[in-house]
A = this chain, B = another copy of it.
């Protein structure tokens, strides 16, 4: 962005710098935390926090710590590529959940990572990494691999350049193997990942397409590694096709 409006720009940049300090692991922070993490002086953080509270983007708790405000959640819920997609997908995810009683997930790509938009988990289902609003690597998650398979060569280059981190002995960590798997996903329309991200789980994923053929999201089901994935595939693909049709 070649925008020369220095002071304005850095003002908004600083405000988002404060907001970006919040994460799944750090949902509540003091002004000192925010000052340390942004590198901004305490008086600046103090002023930014007051303004963000005024806009409803932050809320100050009784203990003086700040948290993301409901108003920001409400604004975020207007994102068509997150909440809008979720609204269309939800009935299908619920059907899939009722049919399998396992972990059912809806995933989109944000930059070079997979972002979980929704997850429905049975209380008895296997424990999985990833929560709604959390991120996972594209190359090591089933939903991420589907997005990577349809993300074009520039995305693949960026993912390869960042390096293929190993999470388990079965994580895909070579370019050769990754290209093989991505080709297979494009050919078959689904992927089965056995212990790629954590030991003990197996995940199956399929793409969600717009009418244009562009892949906008993926859905996955995560089960115990001892289970047979074959019966899951038709249900998962049917749900993915249903959501794709719903988006058209």
In this assembly, does A227 line the interface, its C-beta being within 8 Å of a C-beta of chain B?
Answer: no
Nearest CB of chain B from residue A104's CB, rounded to whole Å: 11
A159 at the interface (CB under 8 A from B): no
Q: Inside 8 A of A55's CB, which chain B residues have their CB?
A: 12-13, 16
Query: Nearest chain B CB to A232's CB is how many angstroms away?
Result: 20
Asked if A77 and B132 make an inter-chain contact with CB atoms under 8 angstroms apart, the answer reads yes
Contact of A59 among B75, B81, B121 (CB under 8 A): B81
Query: Quick one: copies of this chain in the complex?
Result: 2
Is A47 an interface position by the 8 A CB rule? yes
Name the B residues within 8 Å of A97 (CB-CB). 94
Residue of B with least CB distance to A61: B80
Count A interface residues, CB 8 Å.
63
> How far does the Cβ of A218 sit from chain B's closest Cβ, in whole Å?
14
**A49-80: which residues lie under 8 A (CB-CB) from chain B?**
50-57, 59, 67-80
Per the bound structure, the CA–CA distance linking A70 and B55 in Å amounts to 19
Spell out A's residues near B (CB within 8 Å).
Answer: 1, 3, 5, 7-9, 11-13, 15-16, 19-20, 22-24, 27-28, 47-48, 50-57, 59, 67-84, 87, 90-91, 94, 97-98, 108, 110, 115, 117, 120-121, 123, 131-133
Could you name 5 residue pairs across A and B whose Cβ atoms are closer than 8 Å? Answer: A7-B7, A56-B110, A71-B110, A87-B132, A94-B120
* For the complex of A and B, 8 pairs with smallest distance between CB atoms: A76-B76, A77-B133, A73-B76, A73-B82, A73-B79, A68-B79, A68-B78, A16-B55
